[in-house]
Every structure is written in C-alpha cells, then in structure tokens.
Structure 1
Amino acid sequence: MNTEWIAVDWGTSHLRVWAMQGESVLDRAQSDRGMARVAKGDFQVALLDLIEGWLGREPVDVVACGMVGARQGWVEAPYTSVPCAAMPVDPIRVPDTDPRIRAFVVPGLKQLSPPDVMRGEETQIAGFLAGHQNWDGVICLPGTHTKWVQVSAGEVISFRTFMTGEMFELLQAQSVLKHSVGEGWDEAAFVEAAADTLSKPEQLAARLFGLRAADLLHGQDAGTARARLSGLLIGAELAATRAYWLGQQIAIIGAEGLSGVYAMALQHQGAFVETTNSTQSTLAGLSQARKLTRQIA
C-alpha cells in the first residue's frame, strides 16, 4: 500500500485515522485513545500504534484536527478570532516527531463576544465550503456540543455552541428521568416536543419533569419518553438559534442519525435543509489543510 499522507481526527474520546492517496481512502483505523485518555508525552505512541503499518522509509505527512491541538494536547494550535476563513492560518508543525512522519495540527477558531471556541469543526466547515463554492448560510454541526455557524463570503462570521447533546446524556443517565427514558423512538412524539419548546422555551424545565410524571401516571413508553426528551432539548436549542436559521440556507454536518433528527425538527418549521456526512467533510477539510503544509519546512 502506497500511503501518500495520513488524515487524523483526534477528538476528546476517540482517535480516527485514514491512510490516503490523494483524496482517496486506502485504509482506516480507530481507537478509544482520545485526547482525554492520553498522557501529555504519549500522543505519538498512541498514533503510531494505529499507523505504523502504513509507514515506509520516507517521511509521510500526518495532518490532524480536533482536540489534539488543545493546550493539553500533542501541540497547542492557537485559536484564530472570527470573522475569518475556516482555515485562516497554516497548520502547526509538531516538533521532534518520529523521522517517518511530519505531523501537523489544524488550529481552531475563537469568538471573543459572546465567548466561544471550536476545534475540529473548522475542518469540517472548510471541507464543506471546498465543495460548495460561494455558499452563504448557516451550518449546524450537531453532537455532544452542537455548533451553529454563520458563513458569508467564504468566512466564518460568528458561531454559538450548545451543550444539548451532553444535557441529553446527563438527563437520561443521571437524573430522575433515568427511570422513565429507555431505548426506542417515536417520531411523532419528537416532532411535537420540539415544536412545543420552540414556541415556549421557558416551559422546558416543567416539560422535562412531565416525562417522569407521564410514566408514573400513564405508563408512557420509554422510547416515547426518549424521543420527547430529545425533542424538548432540540426545540429549546432551535428557539435560541432562531436568529441564525430563520429564512437562511442551512447545512447540517454530522452523523447520519443525529443529523436526520435535527433536519426533521427544522423541516417541520419550513426550513430548507441540506445534510452532509461529517466524515466526508472532515477528510475534505484535512485535504485542504494538507495543501497548506507543503510550504512548511
């Protein structure tokens, strides 16, 4: 296998790598050795455990995005303030690496007011925009910490982060709702709950406890409760981001299941939505970053 370069998405929980030939994937691997599970001096070891079989005598470029560029990561890749391009500066070279690799990390973006940061999403945005020339609108990147990003004239103008995904996990696993929320899904219940908090977000806390009460009094199905919990939280998020998405062209970049849930909620509000696979956007963005590394010694 002739690996030309290696793409790396290194998040908080997981490490994903791809052996690349141009923009084609030759092979892939992953581990649970995300940034939070790697000691400061062990990043290269964690990476080589996955990619050693792809390496030869000549040094191969490794281009990484995500939390690997945080202060506690492999090398700190400073944030750039918006408004700016998704990749406004060159990737940061990691010093003193194994002679078989040249490693680079893509810097993140920051917003001073209201304060916000992103690492990894900027790469997905750059990848999306590379395939959508002259695209203006709003990009939603759903996940544990969902980002809403305003894009105009090829630049990230502003963005906001919502802890909706993390709140969902905490509520279903560690709150009183753990007794009522289970596996399964009810699309109609999700749509109704999302519309409810979109129109009345101030009722969120009461609606949440209502999930427990509906179980105790009416035996509400655990899958229906799960769908309602998701709808209540996403509806509140859509209410808070209405100024971003209302009347705008919207692109959702994320995992298929979660992207579909967000798209469903938005489409029921009359929004035009395009969905894009997050892995494809990440690889396209890392390809853009690789072009910037060729001029770095």
Structure 2
Amino acid sequence: MDRTPDWIAVDWGTSNVRAWAMTAGGEALAEATSDKGMGKLSPPDYEPALLDLIGGWMDGPIRVVACGMVGARQGWVEAPYASVPGHPLPVGLTLAPTTTPGLSFGIIPGLAQSDPADVMRGEETKVAGFLARNPGWDGVLLLPGTHPKWISVSAGEVVAFRTSLTGEAFAALSGHTVLRHSVATDAWDDDAFLAGVAEGLARPEALMNRLFALRAESLLSGLTPAKARARLSGLLIGTDLAGARGWWLGARVALLGAGDLMTPWRAALTSQGVAPEEADATEATLAGLTEAWRRSQ
C-alpha cells in the first residue's frame, strides 16, 4: 500500500472479520481478513485482534467504522438498536473503549422492529450501501443466507422487515435429523428443487408432513439423495415465499448477496414470474460503511 488510509472500514461477523484501508473518496486501498469473529472473542480480545489485522496500516491517529456482530450484546460493546421505520444508518456511532493512542472505533447500530419483533445487525449497512448506489430505489430487498431477510424500503428508509430461519433449518434438518440419511450428497436436481418450491408455496401448512415424506420416499420409492436434498431446500424456500407473498408479489425485488447463496432464491423467484435485480453484498457493505463514515463526520 503506497499511502496511509484516511479511515478503516470493518465488517465484524460471528465467524470472521474483514477490514479495508479506505480513502476519503471511498476507494479501498487494501483488504485484510481474519477468522477472529465475535464467536471466538471476549471484550478484552477485540482491540488486540483488530491491531493484528490493521496494525500495518496505522501511521498516526486513525478512525475505524465497523458494522456487524462486534456491536452485539456479546461483542466488543453493545451498539443499541435503532427503530424502524427510519434511515438504515441512524446518526451517531457507538464508540468502543480503546487503549491505543489515536485509535477511534465506532460501531453502526443495528435496527429493531417491535411488532412483529425482529432485529438486524450488519444488514442495515448493506441496505444503506445498496441505496447509496441506487438512489430513489423503492421495493423489497431479499438478503439470502442462514437467516434470510425481506426488507421493505421506500423514500430512502427501511419501512419494515422480516427474518426467517430458512437457511438454518435446512442445515439442521439435513445434518441432524432422520433426513440426513436421505440427503447425504452435494449433488443437486433443479427440477426437484422447483417441485419443492411449488409444493411449499401451495401448501405451507403441510410442511412438517412433506418433510417426513422425503424420508419415506427414499425408503419406498427410491428417491435419490440429489432429488431429496434439492426438494428439501425447495420446500423450505417455497414455504418462506408463501409467508412473504405480500412482500414480493407485484413488487420490485432485488437480491442482495453473493455466490451460490443467490442461486436457489433466484430460481424460486423466477419460477413465480419475478425477475429480481441483483447486487453484490460485499460491495454494498463497503458502500454502506463509507456512507456511515461520511454521515459521522
């Protein structure tokens, strides 16, 4: 790196942490990653972990703006939730206690919804970055992952959101229930996935029965692991889509994610006549962190 950064952006998750040396114009000069996520640290461990990551970039006082689980109750310091509806980046950052001279570490608050109860921490920064790159965009953002989120945005604000356990349920069912015997493969069948999506959408109330039917069909009808695994995913995503029908039906929808996480959701939405726009999650995160840095000047 040929120059000293003007500030540092950090995305600190449960498992990993990513940092970028940034210019005032929002250009990333360098990137560093570590596996020292929130799940491995106690509050006194954060500053040493940070310095291991960014110490080579520091040449005098430096300001760090961070998002993610570093601001959770179990993180470095809790950054209180801001309420929706509202801007995805409320004014003000929560400062973490530091002992390194010249080091300032500010954490972006998460967002909370009271009825129905829901929270997000880290996703608000992606939303802010997406909106910064797409001024005036109104519609519904879908963030796939372990806990998929549907986020309604209008006039530059988060109006409401809903989170599900769809990704975590797939991992639990395929790895820790009787279904593990039927889905033990990395292979995939697109037709079986779409059949599961259609079934989950049509009869979400029958999900529990249809899940067990996967095991029964593998025993009685020779259902292959590839078909069973794909249909399991389809059933869960289809049921998620059924619950969120009022969010995506007839709406402008954008998928905000990365890599293989996007593929099944894209296929499921497309099967229902939705042509989702797409944006990269890392690019949105970095744009959101930049927006937070500018708003906190």
**Normalised by the shorter chain, which TM-score bucket?**
over 0.9
Aligned partner of 2:112 among 105, 110, 113? 110
- TM-score (normalised: structure 1): 0.95
CA 1:69–1:269 in 2, change beyond 3 Å: closer, same or farther?
Answer: same
Answer yes or no: is the 8 Å Cα contact 1:109–1:119 preserved in 2: yes
Aligned partner of 1:281 among 268, 275, 284? 284
- Equivalence for 1:226: 229
Give identity over the alignment, percent.
53
- Equivalence for 2:262: 259
Letter in 2 for 1:122: E
- Extract unaligned runs of 5+ from structure 2: none
Letter in 1 for 2:181: H
Aligned partner of 1:29 among 29, 32, 37? 32
Where 1:84 maps in the other structure, the secondary structure is: coil
- Equivalence for 2:160: 158
Q: Could you tell which deviates more after superposition, 17-26 or 250-259?
A: 17-26
How far did residue 33 of structure 1 move?
Answer: 1.5
Aligned partner of 1:39 among 25, 38, 42? 42
- Equivalence for 2:151: 149
CA 1:97–1:245 in 2, change beyond 3 Å: closer, same or farther?
Answer: farther
Answer yes or no: is the 8 Å Cα contact 2:200–2:235 preserved in 1: yes
Query: d(CA) in 2 for partners of 1:250 and 1:192?
Result: 22
Q: Could you tell which deviates more after superposition, 75-84 or 208-217?
A: 208-217
1:111-137, Cα deviation, whole Å (9 max, x unpaired) = 011111100000000000001111111
- Equivalence for 1:170: 172
TM-align CA RMSD = 1.3
Residue 160 of structure 2 corresponds to residue 120 of structure 1: no
CA 1:292–1:97 in 2, change beyond 3 Å: closer, same or farther?
Answer: farther
1:47-58 alignment, distance < 5 Å? 47-56=50-59, 58=60
How far did residue 154 of structure 1 move?
Answer: 1.0
Query: d(CA) in 1 for partners of 2:174 and 2:51?
Result: 37
1:174-189 alignment, distance < 5 Å? 174-181=176-183, 182-189=185-192
1:60-119, Cα deviation, whole Å (9 max, x unpaired) = 221110111112211211111111011122222223342242211000110011111100
Query: d(CA) in 1 for partners of 2:291 and 2:137?
Result: 17
1:227-255, Cα deviation, whole Å (9 max, x unpaired) = 11111100000000001111000011112
Letter in 2 for 1:105: I
1:196-207 alignment, distance < 5 Å? 196-207=199-210
Query: d(CA) in 1 for partners of 2:219 and 2:58?
Result: 59
Where 2:65 maps in the other structure, the secondary structure is: strand
Where 1:285 maps in the other structure, the secondary structure is: helix
Query: d(CA) in 1 for partners of 2:58 and 2:176?
Result: 44
1:118-164, Cα deviation, whole Å (9 max, x unpaired) = 00000000000001111111011111111111111111111111011
Answer yes or no: is the 8 Å Cα contact 2:98–2:105 preserved in 1: no
Letter in 1 for 2:197: A
- TM-score (normalised: structure 2): 0.95
Letter in 1 for 2:116: P
How far did residue 283 of structure 1 move?
Answer: 0.3
- Equivalence for 2:88: 86
- Equivalence for 1:131: 133
CA 1:224–1:26 in 2, change beyond 3 Å: closer, same or farther?
Answer: farther
Letter in 1 for 2:267: M
How far did residue 27 of structure 1 move?
Answer: 2.1
- Equivalence for 2:18: 16
Answer yes or no: is the 8 Å Cα contact 1:10–1:64 preserved in 2: yes
Answer yes or no: is the 8 Å Cα contact 2:61–2:102 preserved in 1: yes
How far did residue 217 of structure 1 move?
Answer: 2.1
Answer yes or no: is the 8 Å Cα contact 1:93–1:104 preserved in 2: yes
Where 2:76 maps in the other structure, the secondary structure is: coil
Query: d(CA) in 2 for partners of 1:16 and 1:233?
Result: 31
